[in-house]
A and B are shown apart, each in its own frame.
Chain A
Amino acid sequence: MFYLVCFDIVDDRARNRVVKCLKAYGERVQKSVFECANLTEEKFLKMKNRLEGLISDQEDTIRYYPLCRGCLKSFEFSGTGVPPEQGKFRVV
């Protein structure tokens, strides 16, 4: 499943840790928005669990939006950037 993850975190240190963790799973498309392609249920729960350990329940929030193939197909954007990556491989 493709997940859109966005967060709002007050503390700089906590935020850095969250970013570092999210970079293992997906691409940073905006300052506080990540796109995580091809996450299995297990991978997603693992990621969520890890993130929950890093933030403060009182002040911070992280939101996860699962996106279906149809939703991704109708993706549009304005300004700079690239469409969401969905492949299981990367050639650099």
Chain B
Amino acid sequence: MTAVDQEYLKVIVFQLADKEYAIPVSNVQGIEKLMHITRVPKTREFVKGVINLRGVVTPLIDLRERFGLPVSNNEETTRIIIITLEEMEVGFIVDSANDVIDIPTDAIEPQPEVVGSNEEDFISGVAKLENRLLILLHLDKVLNP
């Protein structure tokens, strides 16, 4: 093993529909269970509303809707991943939060050229780990319309 000089990226892995996605841990503030959401009128479809996150009003984005995936009913496993990016604090609604793992940086490849789904714009790369395929999200693009 050449593990000594290998660099790793620590990520949070979560599930949306049948795929696994990853966000760098450095961007993640926490993972919360679903709580009461206050709808905010006149916002984009995928903005589900705002929650009270320990006194901070935090907007929520439904990642399924953001990626144009079929809407699922919220279930027991549904989680909110709170992320921060450049002073913005936003929660992502995901099907489930699965894992925290280290990805060797050399396992990350640029996104495949043909993906053919809506989320291709939001992908910064893919990582192949044994038999898992993780999709790395481009947070900037997810947050900016």
User: Does A associate with B in a complex?
Assistant: no
Contact residues of B with A, CB < 8 Å?
A: none
